[in-house]
């Protein structure tokens, strides 16, 4: 009976997320490390990823005090997240899938105890199992991924954007996105912390506290100890430092809908970022929205190779005395343009487009 409870919990959490994840002994052990059996049994009520309190009460049959205690435990463990609906004021509870979700919430505090070290190893094993699953069913899985919308939107770093039209649109400028909000939280980069726990230091930056959340999501992070409240000025300073380090701004939108507000931003490096890593290890495509594409002026290019080294997608290559950019792999992050000393690379606006780059096949 106990094994059925954990298997049901794992299946429920996988179903709550966009990434197909094998329910293996590794995932079951990961859940056992995070929560107890009563909590695992409770989350079966999430027949859909998000529920309000009335729906939870109806499904659980628990009294108010027991229910509040159960939810509070799951909230502090990062297995569930709560926000308040702007339109109705109703609290909405969302179950976290293994990835993205549990991975981020269990790593984001930057804790280094035995539990966190164990979780880091288990997540690494889980990602390897995911890689094997994807590679064994490569063609079918890639077709399935194409039906899933991206979960991130790349906003270019603050650099010259070569546009024949009007200036940079508000949603294309990280600083102006920040100006929309009045509550901000900063947390440990869960990806870099995960690598640190595995003994692998980031090659791009020594700064580890630079994951940002805004608005209602920031309030949750602050209230439950997942992040620290900061000001808008501090938020912009962190963004500027990330740009200097060559990191990519990846924004997340409410309900994965580009017409809704942003709620978080990851500042990603190629060596640690979960989405980049899953792509390079063959476990998932690189899939994101973007509004720009890099272009090179061959007359200005001195073939220094800086953009080749810094491109997180390896979309730039040296060809004789200039560089060539693979448009199909370019995610419009602007890292190449920002760090080009000869100003030979600029960003061109494309309008919102989806980048889908299949991962490599691993022999």
The answer to whether residue 107 scores a pLDDT higher than 80 is yes
Same domain, 77 and 165: no
Label residue 159 by pLDDT band (50, 70, 90).
low
Q: How far is CA 146 from CA 186, 250, 348, in A?
A: 32, 20, 25
The answer to whether residue 247 scores a pLDDT higher than 50 is yes
Q: What is the mean pLDDT of the chain?
A: 92
Same domain, 35 and 163: no
| Nearest residue to 349 via CA among 361, 334, 338, 363 | 334
The answer to whether residue 168 scores a pLDDT higher than 50 is no
Q: What is the value of pTM for the model shown? A: 0.90
At residue 235, the pLDDT reads: 96
Same domain, 268 and 297: yes
Contacts of 43 (CB under 8 A, 6+ apart): 9, 12, 13, 74, 79, 80, 95
Residue for token pair 């810094």: 310
Decide if 107 is inside a domain.
Answer: no
* 189 touches 283 (CB < 8 A): no
Decide if 35 is inside a domain.
Answer: yes
Contacts of 329 (CB under 8 A, 6+ apart): 286, 313, 314, 315, 355, 357
Decide if 28 is inside a domain.
Answer: yes
Label residue 22 by pLDDT band (50, 70, 90).
confident
At residue 169, the pLDDT reads: 53
- Of 48-52, 147-151, 165-169, 176-180, the poorest mean pLDDT is in 165-169
Label residue 255 by pLDDT band (50, 70, 90).
confident
| 107 CB burial (10 A radius; 0-12, 13-18, 19+) | buried
Same domain, 55 and 125: yes
Same domain, 276 and 346: yes
Same domain, 84 and 216: no
Q: SS3 for 87-133, per residue?
A: CCCCEEEEECCHHHHHHHHHHCCCCCCHHHHHHHHHHHHHHHHHHHH
Classify the C-alpha dihedral 277-282-283-289 as positive or negative.
Answer: positive
Q: How far is CA 177 from CA 153, 193, 215, in A?
A: 13, 26, 11
Mean pLDDT along residues 342-357:
93
Q: Which domain holds residue 43?
A: 2-100+112-141
Label residue 165 by pLDDT band (50, 70, 90).
very low
Give the domain CATH number at 121. Answer: 1.10.10
Same domain, 81 and 119: yes
At residue 166, the pLDDT reads: 45
Same domain, 196 and 291: yes
Same domain, 154 and 135: no
Decide if 105 is inside a domain.
Answer: no
How many domains does the structure of the chain reveal? 2
Same domain, 164 and 268: yes
Same domain, 248 and 342: yes
Label residue 171 by pLDDT band (50, 70, 90).
low
The answer to whether residue 128 scores a pLDDT higher than 80 is yes
Decide if 106 is inside a domain.
Answer: no
Residue for token pair 């909000």: 181
Residue for token pair 């701004």: 249
The answer to whether residue 313 scores a pLDDT higher than 70 is yes
Residue for token pair 């919308």: 149
| 199 CB burial (10 A radius; 0-12, 13-18, 19+) | exposed
- pLDDT tens-digit readout, 43-77: 999 999 999 999 999 999 999 999 999 999 999 99
């Amino acid at each position: 009976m106990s094994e059925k409870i954990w298997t049901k919990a794992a299946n429920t959490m996988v179903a709550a997320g966009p990434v197909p994840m094998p329910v293996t002994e590794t995932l079951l052990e990961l859940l056992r490390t995070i929560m107890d059996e009563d909590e695992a049994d409770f989350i079966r009520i999430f027949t859909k990823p998000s529920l309000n309190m009335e729906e939870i009460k109806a499904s659980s049959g628990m009294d108010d005090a027991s229910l509040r205690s159960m939810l509070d435990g799951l909230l502090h463990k990062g297995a569930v997240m709560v926000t308040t609906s702007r339109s109705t004021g109703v609290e909405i509870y969302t179950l976290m899938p293994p990835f993205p979700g549990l991975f981020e919430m269990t790593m984001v505090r930057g804790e280094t105890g035995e539990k966190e070290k164990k979780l880091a190893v288990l997540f690494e094993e889980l990602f390897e199992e995911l890689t094997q699953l994807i590679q064994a069913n490569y063609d079918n899985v890639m077709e399935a991924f194409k039906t899933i919308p991206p979960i991130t939107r790349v906003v270019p770093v603050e650099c010259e954007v070569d546009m024949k039209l009007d200036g940079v649109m508000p949603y294309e400028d990280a600083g102006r996105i920040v100006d929309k909000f009045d509550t901000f939280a900063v947390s440990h980069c869960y990806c870099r912390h995960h690598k640190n726990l595995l003994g692998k230091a980031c090659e791009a930056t020594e700064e580890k506290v630079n994951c940002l959340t805004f608005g209602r999501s920031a309030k949750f992070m602050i209230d439950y100890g997942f992040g620290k409240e900061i000001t808008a000025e501090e938020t912009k300073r962190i963004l500027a430092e990330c740009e200097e380090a060559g990191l990519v701004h990846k924004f997340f939108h409410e309900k994965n809908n580009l017409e809704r507000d942003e709620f978080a931003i990851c500042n990603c490096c190629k060596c640690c970022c979960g989405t980049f890593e899953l792509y390079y290890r063959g476990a998932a495509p690189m899939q994101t929205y973007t509004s720009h594409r890099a272009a090179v002026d061959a007359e200005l290019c001195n073939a220094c190779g800086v953009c080749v080294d810094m491109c997180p997608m390896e979309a730039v290559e040296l060809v004789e005395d200039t560089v060539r950019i693979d448009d199909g792999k370019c995610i419009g992050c602007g890292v190449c343009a920002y760090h080009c000393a000869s100003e030979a690379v600029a960003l061109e606006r494309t309008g919102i487009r989806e980048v889908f780059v299949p991962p490599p096949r691993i022999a």
